[in-house]
Structure 1
C-alpha cells in the first residue's frame, strides 16, 4: 500500500471526537451528549422559562378578569326614581322613626321626640291610630321591626331596646345591643339588621343582640353616613339616609352598595301644597304578599304607596354625591 493510499484510509477512519457526527458518543438524534448535571441544568432552565411564561399569561388573564369584574360591579349600581301609586292619610304629629307593614292593611310605627315617643298600630287606609303605647319622657323612640309576634324597638343615644307584644303593644322585655346607639332596625325573619347613624350596617343575633357582623357601606369610595330607618325588601336592605331624599339599597350579605332611589318629588309636592312644617323623609314599609312599598316622613301628613322605575338617562358626575351623601353627624 502506498503512502497516498494510507493517507486516504486514515482519512476514512472515524476520529475519536465527541462532537463528530460519527462518534459513538452522539445520540440517535445527532445532538451532543450531556452529563447528568448538564442535562438537569438544561431541564431546569426550560422549566423556568415555561413557568415564567405561564405566570406572565396568568397575570394578564387575572388583570383582565379583575378589570371586567370591576366594570361589572360598577354597572350593578342602579339609579331609580319613584311613581306614586296611592296616597293615604298620616298623622302630621308623628315624628316617624320606624315603620313596618304587618298584613291586613295594618302598619306599626315608632315615633320619636322626648315626651312624644310612642309605638303605635295604624290603619293604612285611614291613618287612624288604633293602639298606642307611650314611652317614658326620657326616651327617644327609634327604629322598629317585627319577628313573629314580637315588636323590637331601639332608642336614640342609647344601647337600650324594648320588646312589645304585637297584639296589645304591652312591653314584654328589654335588651341591650352592641351598636353605638339605635337608629334603624329591620329583619329578614331570622336575624336583625341595625343602623346607628353611621355608615355601618349591623347584623344582630335576635336572641343575644350581639353584633354578628358590621359592614361599612361605600358608594364609589365614599362612606354612606347617617344610615337611618331600615327595611328588608326582596333580599336587600333599604335605608333612609338622614337629611336627604334618598334611599340606599344595600346587600345584607356584605354591605355592598346596590343602588339609589331618589324621592325628592315627594317633599317638593308637599311643600308646594303648603305643608312647610314637615321634617325629613323617613320610614319604609314593605308588603311582601302584595309587593307594595310604602314611604313617609317625619311629621308628614301623607303616607305613599310607590313603585320604583330605573333612571335611563346618564346622571352627571357629582349629582348623587350632592343629593344623597352627607357628612357624619355627631351628638353629645
Structure 2
C-alpha cells in the first residue's frame, strides 16, 4: 500500500508542478507470478512394458493408448489398465521414429520425430485412414477436444487444425518471463497443458491462453532405484482420466506406470 500511495502522490505532484513529461510516465508491468510448486503421492502402481520407449500417452474408456519410439520399434498400442492386456494397433515403418499421440473425434493421431509426418488411424478398427505432413520435428501431442497442440522440442507449442494440420497459432511458453525449452510429451488436464520437460523429472503446467507456466510438478524419485536398469530412460508420458480425475505418468522403458496425486509444496 505504501508503494501505491507513493506512486499516486508523485504523479499528482508532477501534474501540480506543471511537469508534462512526468505526468505521462506509466508504471512498469508487474513481474510474472511465481508458479505453484508440487510434489506427489503415489496412489497405485501398474505394470508397464519396459520395452516401450514411451513417446505419447492418453487414457480413454478404460484403455491406455501409447505411442512408442525408436526406429524399427515404433508402434501404437492400447492396454487395458485393469488386466494389463496390450494390443498392438499399428506399427510404423522402420524408417520412422514414433512420437506423441492424441485421440480426437474417433481418430488417433501419431507424430513422427524427423519424418515430418503424422499418421491418422480409426480408433475403433486401428486402420490407417490418412496422414499429414508438417515442418520441423514432432515431439508431443494433445487435444482440448477441438484443436491439436503439438510440441517440437522448442519453447513453442503449435495449435493445429485437426482436419488440415494447418497451424492456427503458436503458444510461447515462459517461466517467470523466460522461455521454457525441450517441451516434450503433452496432456490436456482441466483446461491446462501439462508438459514433460525433456531430460528432467519435472512437468510444467501451462496456461494455454498466455503460455505462462503456472505450476511445476517435481517427480524426482518416482521410479524406485531397484527398477532402474541400463535401458531405463527419462520420465515421459502423462495421461488423464477426466471421469475419476486420475493422473497417470511413466517414462521411456520404465517398468511401472503410476497413478499420482499432487501435493502442494509449502
Q: Work out which of the residue numbers 234, 250, 259 in structure 2 matches 1:305.
A: 259
After TM superposition, the runs of 4+ consecutive aligned structure 1 residues lying more than 3 A away are 48-59, 272-276
- Tell me if structure 2 keeps the 8 A contact 1:85–1:304: yes
Distance 2:96 2:262 in 1: 35
| Unaligned ranges ≥5, structure 1 | 1-47, 313-332
- Answer yes or no: is 1:167 the counterpart of 2:124: yes
1:135 shift after superposition: 1.2
Which residue of structure 1 aligns with residue 205 of structure 2? 249
Secondary structure at the residue paired with 2:95?
A: coil
Which residue of structure 1 aligns with residue 146 of structure 2? 190
Distance 1:296 1:147 in 2: 22
More helix by share: 1
CA RMSD of aligned residues (A): 2.1
Per-residue CA deviations over 1:185-243 (Å, capped at 9, x if unaligned) read 00000001000111111111112211111132222343211111100011110011111
Distance 1:158 1:134 in 2: 15
Secondary structure at the residue paired with 2:109?
A: strand
1:56 shift after superposition: 4.6
Q: How many residues align?
A: 253
- TM-score normalized by structure 2? 0.88
- Tell me if structure 1 keeps the 8 A contact 2:97–2:113: yes
- Tell me if structure 2 keeps the 8 A contact 1:89–1:125: no
Return closer, same or farther for 1:222/1:172 CA change in 2, 3 Å cut-off: same
Which residue of structure 2 aligns with residue 326 of structure 1? none
- Tell me if structure 2 keeps the 8 A contact 1:283–1:295: yes
Which residue of structure 2 aligns with residue 237 of structure 1? 193
Secondary structure at the residue paired with 1:120?
A: strand
- Answer yes or no: is 1:258 the counterpart of 2:214: yes
Which residue of structure 2 aligns with residue 154 of structure 1? 111
Q: Work out which of the residue numbers 124, 131, 136 in structure 1 matches 2:81.
A: 124
- TM-score normalized by structure 1? 0.71
- Answer yes or no: is 1:79 the counterpart of 2:37: yes
- Tell me if structure 2 keeps the 8 A contact 1:87–1:304: yes
Return closer, same or farther for 1:145/1:52 CA change in 2, 3 Å cut-off: farther
- Tell me if structure 2 keeps the 8 A contact 1:193–1:202: yes
- For the pair shown, which has the larger CA radius of gyration, 1 or 2? 1
Distance 1:51 1:109 in 2: 69
Which residue of structure 2 aligns with residue 296 of structure 1? 250
| Unaligned ranges ≥5, structure 2 | 1-13
1:51 shift after superposition: 9.9
Q: 5 Å matches for 1:1-332?
A: 52=18, 56=22, 59=25, 62-63=26-27, 66=28, 69-70=30-31, 73-75=32-34, 77-103=35-61, 105-178=62-135, 180-267=136-223, 269=224, 271-273=225-227, 275-312=229-266
Distance 1:54 1:232 in 2: 49
1:272 shift after superposition: 3.3
